[in-house]
Amino acid sequence: MKAPRKALVPDYYAEFHCIGSECEDSCCAGWTVPINRDTYNRYKQHRNPVLAPLFREYVRKNKNTATQTEAYYGFMELKPDGSCGFLRDDKLCAIQKELGAQALCNTCALYPRQVNRFGGQPEQSLNISCPEAARLVLLRPQPIAFASIDGAARFQDAQALMRRFPEGHDGVPEEMAIFRELRSLCLAIVQLRPLALDARLMLLGMVMENADRIIIADTYTNAGDLEPVIVLGQQMLQHAEMLNAEFAKLAANQPFKLKTLGNLLRNTLADQENARFSECLADAVAALFGQADAGGAEGGDILGRYEAAYADYYRPYFQGREYIFENYLANEIFRQIFPLMNESPFRLYQELVCNYAIVKLLLVGMAGRHRGLNDALVVKLFQSFSRKASHDSVYLRCLLDSLREQRSESLVHMMWLLREPDR
Ligand code: SF4
């Protein structure tokens, strides 16, 4: 058998262990769990007295010829309440309990790990839509670093791949080296601690805007065209003080921020199904918008409530804890192969900034509601928001459509979503 290749992983990766029945959430609730052909056949032929009736009831063939593949040959049918039919009363999985972890389908065995391939290089990370992964990724004060480990063979199975860049092949080595440098620059920017976090996002936006201009131009030939952008970005890393001063010159636009984020919440998140996120959303909406829905975000009252919750409860918790948002951004850049999985790096940047700004707004509201924040509330919001944002393709399309409809797509608009007034 071919030896598994080394995989590049964040340094928190090996510490992850599923906490099973201790978990505050249920990882499979409400999701489509695809099953490959081998697993489907194995489950359907199984004679285990506990599992056989459950396999008959809850394992279904994917009869949609447009989507049926080896990897998506079948799926787990959920119960009417959205829970998994194999989840026992003690919140443990019946398949794992009866047959061991090796009997789980790829989707369940991997989660919350995510397997990508960047060029020929396997990469693995954690999705913070799992509460235990969220604690591990977000709450560590030191910056996330990366290391090579021996990859598990199962995780290098092509069917386990979530993202691959370039699509379908390993790419040209010289070009991949430049793309790798671009992503490393993005990581270096969000981890540049002498620079305020919002100013780091401003610098990231400038680099993505420059990269965008080159990639979408008719004259673009190959990754080599991006080298001047990378060199300029690397030089900017040396001028944190100047960038802090530039960001400070930008005027805040609180009415724009609250109205835009209120609209994004209404258009993209209001119909969500996860109970933990519903609680966070209800807390934030009650504290910031009173009884009005999030889309009515206009007027001095809302601004006043936001300012008070920010100053009295949000800022005291986050002072000295900027690393929580930094870790979120660094993990997303690595996990999503940012900024390369879309032909427009600036589109991916908009998505990153909007998600960041929505999480921050909700945390300000939650801080107001609870008269303070703690690690448990912060993890609850990041985790439940990520369940929506990273497992729902419609959310992303709605988010970007909503920005377009509001004509709020430029770098200046992104800065207004980030900027807090000097207090
Ligand atoms: S969400 Fe994470 S910790 Fe919870 S049961 Fe799933 S894998 Fe385990």
With bands split at pLDDT 50, 70 and 90, how would you rate the model's confidence at 160?
A: confident
Highest mean pLDDT: which range of 17-26, 137-146, 284-293: 137-146
Q: Write out pLDDT tens, residues 359-389.
A: 999 999 999 999 999 999 999 999 999 988 8
Distance CA 188, CA 142 (A): 14
Distance CA 171, CA 333 (A): 20
**What is the pLDDT, as a whole number, of residue 3?**
54
Distance CA 111, CA 18 (A): 9
b (16+ CB within 10 A) / e for 209-221: bbbbebbeeeeee
- Residue 307's contacts (CB-CB under 8 Å, 6 or more residues apart) are 254
Please tell me the residue having the least CA distance from ligand 1 atom 6.
27
Residue 351: alpha-carbon gap to chain centroid:
10
Q: Give the pair of three-digit tokens for residue 341.
A: 């999985």
Q: Is the CB of 27 under 6 A from ligand 1?
A: yes
**What is the pLDDT, as a whole number, of residue 42?**
95
Please tell me the residue having the least CA distance from ligand 1 atom 2.
130
| 8 A C-beta contact, residue 161 and residue 116 | yes
Alpha helices by DSSP H, 102-146:
106-110, 131-138
Stretch 68-80: mean pLDDT:
90
**What is the pLDDT, as a whole number, of residue 388?**
81
Mean pLDDT of the chain: 89
Atom of ligand 1 nearest to the CA of 28: 6
Q: Which residue do the tokens 């912060």 mark? A: 378
H or E, element range at 150: strand 146-150
Whether 305 shows a pLDDT value over 60: the answer reads yes
Taking the CA atoms of the chain, what radius of gyration do you get in angstroms?
Answer: 22
Q: Give the pair of three-digit tokens for residue 284.
A: 């934030």
With bands split at pLDDT 50, 70 and 90, how would you rate the model's confidence at 74?
A: very high
What secondary structure, in 3-state letters, does 39-100 show? HHHHHHHCCCCCHHHHHHHHEEECCCCCCCCCCCCEEECCCCCCCCCCECCCCCEHHHHHHC
Q: What does the DSSP assignment read for 7-25?
A: EEEETTGGG----GGG-SS
Q: 25, 86, 110, 136: which to mutate for ligand 1, most atoms within 8 A of CB?
A: 25
Q: Is the CB of 25 under 6 A from ligand 1?
A: yes
Atom of ligand 1 nearest to the CA of 91: 5
Q: Give the pair of three-digit tokens for residue 415.
A: 């800065």
Please tell me the residue having the least CA distance from ligand 1 atom 3.
18
Domain ranges of the chain: 6-164, 173-247, 251-418
Is residue 147 classed as helix, strand or coil in its secondary structure?
A: strand
* Total-model pTM: 0.91
166 CA distance to ligand 1 middle (Å): 30
9 CA distance to ligand 1 middle (Å): 19
58 CA distance to ligand 1 middle (Å): 21
**What is the pLDDT, as a whole number, of residue 298?**
44
